[in-house]
Amino acid sequence: MAGRLARLAYKCIHTEYANHLQHAMQSDKDVGTPSQLHPVFYGCYDWHSSVHGHWLLVKLLREFPDLAARDSIIRAIDLTLTPNKIAAEVAYFNAPGRVSYERPYGWSWLLKLTTEVATWDHPLGTHWLATFAVYMYFAR
């Protein structure tokens, strides 16, 4: 079952389309593809599902250290959890008209993901938490 769940989340976190955007636009500068608007959490059809997919993968890495797709999952998460991409996500949330974007549901999954990496006594948890921590401080 862990392998099935991992394949499902792994397949979708970098699958941009189909995508359901709920996006408040203030000007032409706000137009973009899902991955341009949300460079970390653009897959899995919508923002909160992408966050949930990332959480699921981290949870499976923690619970099943011998997971067959472990190395591929780590590479996939490393592709998205970068300082520049997290900074772009924070900038999106800090833009005018977006103070309530994905609240409370999406933010709850983001807190679960952050908690998962924060409580994982492993170098990957430490690394991914450091990436989050620098930029999440500046989010509203």
| In the predicted structure, residue 139 carries a pLDDT above the cut 60 | no
Taking alpha carbons only, the member of 25, 35, 12, 31 closest to residue 89 is 35
pTM as predicted:
0.93
- Report pLDDT for 99: 82
Whether residue 56 contacts residue 9, with contact meaning beta carbons closer than 8 Å, is answered with yes
Model pLDDT for residues 29-48, shown as the tens digit of each residue? 999 999 999 999 999 999 99
Domain count, the chain: 1
Model pLDDT for residues 81-138, shown as the tens digit of each residue? 999 999 899 889 888 888 888 989 999 999 999 999 999 999 999 999 999 886 665 5
Give one DSSP letter per residue of 28-59, joined into a string: GGG---HHHH-SSS--TTSHHHHHHHHHHHHH
- Report pLDDT for 97: 86
Model pLDDT for residues 53-76, shown as the tens digit of each residue? 999 999 999 999 999 999 999 999
**Structural domain range at position 117:** 2-136
- Report pLDDT for 94: 87
